[in-house]
A and B are shown apart, each in its own frame.
Chain A
Amino acid sequence: MTRRLLLAVAACGLAATAGCAHPDERGDAAAAVARQLAEAATAGDGATACALLAPDTRAELESSAGTPCAAAIGAEDLPAPAAVTAVDVYGESARVVTATDTVFLGTFPGGWRVVAAGCTGRGDGRPYDCALQGG
């Protein structure tokens, strides 16, 4: 019995590397949300862009700007949409790298939402520096 359970956990552990459920689909969904944010922000569609943000990210943006999200997000000057070069999905988090941006996402009841965008690497294992992120 113990060996059977071990194998079950082993299989899940191996599957969990990519999220334990259709990693390609989850990655594609995360990339789609990242692209929608870039498109909406570039087009000046603040309402659509803000609907794609994680609650804490949206709250932080409104708090720091002192204006509603839809009005504030345009000033963040997020990079324009570009081809996706890499997608990483681990559990409830994802990272989408495009030719112009790195976007971090988390899962929510409505699907993937953007936790941070407009991010640039700082090297040495330090967190990305992001134009838009939660508190």
Chain B
Amino acid sequence: MRRFLRQNSLGLVFGVLFLLALVGQAFAGHADYNDQLRSDGLAEVSLGRYLTSASFAVDVAENWQSEYLQFFLFVTLTVWLVQRGSPESKPLDAVGREPDADQHVGEHARADSPAWARARGWRLGVYSNSLGLVMGLIFLLSWLVQSVAGAAAYNEEQLRRLQDPVPWGAYLLEADFWNRTLQNWQSELLAVASMAILSIYLRQRGSPESKPVGSAHDTTGVEG
């Protein structure tokens, strides 16, 4: 058990931190939602009712979609884009999808390679892109949820202000939808750019996200 925890500590710790943050968001969001209801002269709602509200759903989904977009772009664009000196980049001469021999696929598969890496045709094609595909799919689903829940939350506010609700299609053109979307995208894109650039010059000893402390600034594609 202890061995299992140690060998999976990265995923487990982040999973627990995620749940703690989500619980914290639920309580803070509930208090904020009730503040708004009170100021509009309406009755407060229970935590359970808030957790099934569009307001909570859109606040969660708008952050999720941007995170998965970030990883989708990072995973796929780093196939072709490189950054000299960054451990987040592959070597400058390895741009592209790389030869089968380097990727251990098809006839170059090893004994312990996943079955679909040994396969040919669509299975190899899907598996070769599965990380990006799943990240992209979760991004699209999260963005869809954001749009649907966002329309409902927006319309609830519209009704509170004695204004007409708008259909989902019209909401996609509303400033509220794009403000929620772009404010998350900009922060994720800044974080990726910062990581790619700062890791050229700065080090974190022992971290695989950093180059070894003594590596030269122009050493590319080396992780510590």
Taking beta carbons and an 8 Å cutoff, which residues of A are in contact with B? Answer: 1-3, 6-7, 9-10, 12-21, 54-57, 88, 90-95, 104, 106-109, 115-116, 119, 121, 125-128, 130, 133-135
Contact = CB atoms under 8 A, between A and B. Distances in A.
Contact of A54 (B42, B57, B64, B144): B42
Contacts of B58: 13
A31 B112 CA distance: 65
A128 B163 CA distance: 6
Interface in B150-174: 151-153, 155-156, 158-165, 168
Secondary structure type dominating chain A contacts: mixed
Secondary structure type dominating chain B contacts: helix
A134 B38 CA distance: 13
Interface string B77-94: 000000000000000000
Interface residues of B, number: 40
- Central interface residue in A10, A21, A125, A128, by most chain B CB within 10 Å: A10
Contacts of A108: 42-43
B130 to A, nearest CB: 14
A90 B165 contact: yes
Contacts of B45: 92, 107
